[in-house]
């Protein structure tokens, strides 16, 4: 970094340290935004600051977590020391290279009096990364893992001279919770309450692509960020410092997406990105935030999931070719039969490419039969090598549009309606995220995740205002099954609703419902989903003679896109309650949504409950 000087030429460090501390105090560096960004300080509600960083190795002063001035003085003091800190056992100048670089610039260190350390490990790390630019990576939602139900985000460090073919060899900057195996229901409890430790890691991109695209079937969007060389350098210096950091992981706030934003603020301190998120931070929100910043986001690249590639190619087959594909997947030797050989060579190549992709996917996801699938794939590849034609490189169209095109996660609604024999007005509010009747762009079709949603309703005749319903969590996955992928659909709903039962007109009832089933997709008009569930439900309310009832039944439904803006959702259910208050119930509902704009929609819903409880509701929704 700079030449060393002899011990005799250096001024005693205590006098120079005192000079630097006074100079920093006069410049109020401890109160500067840049220092607070480097230490992850956030303002407290009643004054003062506290760092969101929770690892003791990150602070050099005993009260450094809450005292920026003490931490700055301790940092300057340790710059003169040869003491080794952290798990990596480095001098402070090398453990906190971003702090050192910033303070050196602001205080103009005299290197004869404060000798710079030779941070060889850091320089080797930077040379290994060979950075040129930073790309934001957004893997789409994965419903079968609660930690990934809202998507994920991470950074890729793009190398000098990197090409579209070699970018998969770059490294990623990833923030994740350390979750032990077998956590079960405790994952939700600890994830919501900060019970896990969140750490940064630097992992090869090809490993993340294999995990997200090939195993979890998640499309990936890549957004190149327009950072200068100096900004990339500052950001990576702070990433190096994160080796001494750890954070309490909160599933909805201080999560994978939120913790990337301070890295960008270090790169460019004029960005106040974390200030945009008060209560929760979702990966899609961070993508929308960055794409709204003028000139920040450049090229966007789509990397389809393996199942997306297979499904899109499968859509191009005729019904006869699909039947032939199914037989070849079960018995690869059929590629030698006349029925297969008589096809044009391009169609044979397409069928073999689909077969190989599908068998490789199955070998990764089905460990019990992995060797069987690998053996079949080898036979397919031998037949494919005999065809002297290139694979079809037609671009794969995503099933889901880019996440920044979607509506915002929170929603407020106002509406009016008629229930049984009286009019009412209603105001509703939802913390997040998306339901089946919300505008679809930016969200996976058939996915519903509603958290912390409620409605306040005023009934005109009774003159009563009450909490009409409250949803803790309402999650549904309608994943179409087809000849290649028999994907189950499922749903879970926990919350409160208002019942009219046994003479009680306004009775609150706690409800828990869950089910599993299948969904099938057609294109009779534009796109339709037909679904069915077997389900269980339990309800607790003073409206019931025994205060509760529990039972099961089934639901059949249809979701249809009539136009790009107009969606219809209809369902009918029959439930028989054999425990508690014994009864049965038929329910049916019809809902329609018309999209006015990206963040505005109209909705009309009709619901039938019990035997004579009918409700019609018209609502205007705004997303924020």
CATH of residue 482: 2.40.160.40
Beta strands in 193-345 (DSSP E): 196-204, 220-225, 247-249, 297-303
d(CA 463, CA 123): 72
Cross-strand bridge partners of residue 378: none
535 with 514: CB under 8 angstroms? yes
* Domain end among 277, 303, 329: 303
Whether 364 and 224 share a structural domain:
no
Q: At CA 542, angle to CA 538 and CA 546, rounded to 5? A: 65
pTM score, whole prediction: 0.87
Q: State the Cα–Cα distance between residues 562 and 122, nearest whole angstrom.
A: 58
Same domain flag for 187 and 275: yes
Q: What's the token pair of residue 6?
A: 């002899």
Give the pLDDT score at 354. 96
Number of domains in the chain: 4
Is residue 430, in this structure, part of any structural domain at all? yes
Contacts of 503 (CB under 8 A, 6+ apart): none
Quick one: DSSP state of residue 251?
S
Last residue of one domain, picked from the residues 118, 146, 177: 118
Query: Whole-angstrom Cα distance, residue 600 to residue 619?
Result: 11
Is residue 34 included in any domain, yes or no? yes
Residue 498's DSSP bridge partners are: 508
* Contact present, 134 and 157 (Cβ < 8 Å): yes
pLDDT at 11: 43
Phi first, then psi: give them for residue 271, nearest 5 degrees. -80, 125
Give the tokens for residue 612: 């004579």
Q: For residue 412, what pLDDT is reported? A: 98
CB-based contacts of 280, cutoff 8 Å, min separation 6: 252, 253, 409, 431, 432
Same domain, 346 and 207: no
In a domain, 578, yes or no: yes
92 phi-psi bin (left φ>0, alpha ψ -120 to 50, beta other)? alpha
Closest CA to 291 of 229, 237, 223: 223
Q: What are the b/e assignments for 441-450, b being 16+ CB within 10 Å?
A: bbbbbbbbbb
CA-to-CA distance for 552 and 496, rounded, in angstroms? 18
The per-residue pLDDT for 513 is: 97
- Reading the block at residue 532, the tokens are 């069915």
Tell me the C-alpha distance between 156 and 589, whole Å. Answer: 46
Cα 465 to Cα 75: distance, rounded to the nearest angstrom: 58
| CA within 13 Å, CB half, 354 | 23
Instruction: Tell which of 303, 326, 344 closes a domain.
Output: 303
pLDDT of residue 145: 65
Q: Token pair for residue 20?
A: 């630097």
Same domain, residue pair 250 and 353: no
Q: Are residues 189 and 216 in the same domain?
A: yes
Those residues with Cβ within 8 angstroms of residue 79's Cβ, 6 or more apart along the chain or in another chain: 92, 93, 100, 103, 114
23 and 137 in a common domain: no
Residue 280: the pLDDT is 80
Whether 214 contacts 127, CB under 8 Å: no
Tell whether 397 is covered by a domain.
no
Residue 149: predicted pLDDT = 78
Q: Within the chain, which residues score under 50 in pLDDT?
A: 1-12
pLDDT for the residue numbered 415:
97
Residue 206 and residue 163 share a domain:
yes
Residue 390 lies inside a defined structural domain of this protein: no
CA distance 290 to 301: 15
Specify whether 166 is located in the same domain as 290.
yes
Domain that holds residue 12: 7-118
Query: Do residues 412 and 621 make contact, with C-beta atoms less than 8 angstroms apart?
Result: yes
Q: Which pLDDT belongs to residue 275?
A: 87
Supply the DSSP symbol for 214.
I
- Spatial neighbors of 233 by CB under 8 A, at least 6 apart, are 131
Integer Rg of the chain from CA:
29
17 contact partners, CB below 8 Å, separation of at least 6: 76, 77, 80
Same domain, 135 and 267: yes
The pLDDT value recorded for residue 612 is 82
Tell me the pLDDT tens digit for each residue of 406-458: 999 999 999 999 998 899 999 999 998 999 999 999 998 899 999 999 999 99
Do 73 and 217 share a domain, yes or no? no
Whether residue 530 contacts residue 555, with contact meaning beta carbons closer than 8 Å, is answered with no
34 plus 94 within the same structural domain = yes
C-beta neighbour count of 4 within 10 angstroms: 14
Specify the pLDDT at position 215: 83
Q: Say if residue 75 is in the same domain as residue 19.
A: yes
Bridge pairing between strands 447-459 and 84-85 = unpaired
Structure tokens at 365: 């996801």
Alpha helices by DSSP H, 51-143: 68-79, 92-95, 97-107, 120-129
Does residue 341 lie in a domain region? yes
Task: Please check whether residue 1 lies inside any domain of the structure.
Answer: no
Q: In this predicted structure, what is the pLDDT of residue 4?
A: 36
Kindly state whether residue 393 falls inside one of the protein's structural domains.
no
């Amino acid at each position: 970094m700079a030449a060393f000087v002899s011990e005799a030429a250096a001024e005693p460090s205590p006098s120079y340290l005192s000079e630097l501390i006074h100079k920093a105090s006069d410049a109020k560096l401890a109160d500067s935004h840049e220092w607070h960004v480097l230490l992850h300080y956030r303002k407290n509600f009643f004054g003062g600051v506290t760092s969101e960083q929770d690892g003791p190795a990150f602070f050099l002063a005993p009260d450094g977590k809450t005292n920026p001035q003490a931490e700055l003085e301790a940092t300057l003091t340790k710059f003169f020391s040869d003491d080794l800190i952290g798990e990596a056992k480095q001098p402070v100048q090398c453990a906190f290279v971003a702090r050192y670089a910033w303070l050196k610039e602001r205080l103009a260190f005299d290197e004869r009096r404060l000798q710079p350390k030779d941070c060889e490990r850091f320089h080797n790390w930077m040379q290994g990364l060979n950075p040129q630019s930073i790309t934001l990576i957004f893997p789409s939602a994965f419903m079968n893992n609660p930690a990934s139900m809202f998507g994920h985000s991470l950074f890729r460090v793009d190398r000098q001279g990197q090409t579209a073919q070699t970018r998969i060899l770059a490294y990623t900057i990833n923030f994740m919770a350390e979750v032990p195996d077998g956590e079960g229901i405790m994952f939700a409890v600890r994830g919501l309450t900060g019970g896990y430790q969140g750490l940064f890691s630097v992992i090869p991109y090809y490993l993340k692509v294999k995990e997200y695209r090939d195993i979890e079937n998640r499309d990936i969007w890549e957004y190149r960020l327009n950072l200068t060389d100096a900004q990339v350098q500052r950001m990576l210096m702070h990433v190096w410092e994160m080796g001494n950091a750890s954070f309490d992981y909160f599933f909805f706030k201080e999560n994978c997406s939120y913790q990337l934003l301070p890295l960008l603020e270090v790169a460019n301190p004029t960005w106040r990105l974390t200030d945009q998120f008060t209560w929760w931070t979702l990966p899609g929100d961070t993508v929308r935030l960055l794409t709204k910043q003028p000139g920040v986001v450049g090229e966007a690249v789509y990397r389809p999931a393996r199942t997306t590639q297979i499904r899109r190619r499968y859509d191009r087959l005729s019904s006869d070719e699909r039947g032939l594909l199914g037989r070849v997947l079960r018995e690869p030797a059929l590629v030698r039969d006349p029925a297969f050989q008589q096809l044009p060579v391009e169609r044979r190549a397409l069928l073999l490419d689909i077969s190989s992709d599908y068998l490789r996917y199955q070998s990764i996801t089905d460990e019990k039969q992995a060797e069987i699938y690998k053996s079949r794939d080898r036979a397919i590849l031998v037949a494919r090598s005999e065809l002297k034609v290139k694979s079809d490189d037609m671009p794969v169209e995503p099933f889901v549009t880019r996440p920044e095109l979607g509506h915002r996660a929170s929603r407020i609604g106002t509406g009016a309606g008629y229930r049984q024999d009286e009019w009412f007005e209603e105001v509703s509010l939802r913390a997040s995220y998306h339901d089946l009747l919300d505008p679809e762009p930016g969200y996976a079709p058939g996915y519903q995740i509603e958290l912390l949603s409620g409605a306040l309703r005023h009934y005109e005749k009774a003159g009563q205002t009450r909490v009409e319903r409250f949803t803790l969590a309402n999650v549904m996955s309608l994943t179409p099954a087809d000849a290649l992928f028999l994907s189950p659909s499922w749903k879970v709903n926990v919350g409160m609703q208002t019942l009219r039962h046994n003479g009680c007109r306004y009775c609150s009832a706690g409800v828990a419902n869950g089910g599993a089933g299948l969904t099938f997709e057609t294109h009779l008009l534009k796109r339709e989903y037909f679904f069915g569930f077997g389900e269980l439900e339990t309800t607790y309310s003073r409206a019931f003679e025994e205060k509760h009832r529990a039972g099961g039944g089934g639901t059949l439904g249809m979701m249809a896109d009539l136009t790009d803006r107009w969606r219809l959702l209809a369902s009918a259910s029959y439930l028989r309650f054999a425990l508690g208050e014994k009864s049965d119930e038929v329910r049916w509902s019809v809902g329609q949504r018309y999209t006015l704009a990206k963040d505005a929609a109209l909705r009309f819903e009709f619901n039938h409950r019990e035997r004579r409880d009918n409700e019609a509701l018209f609502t205007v929704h705004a997303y924020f």
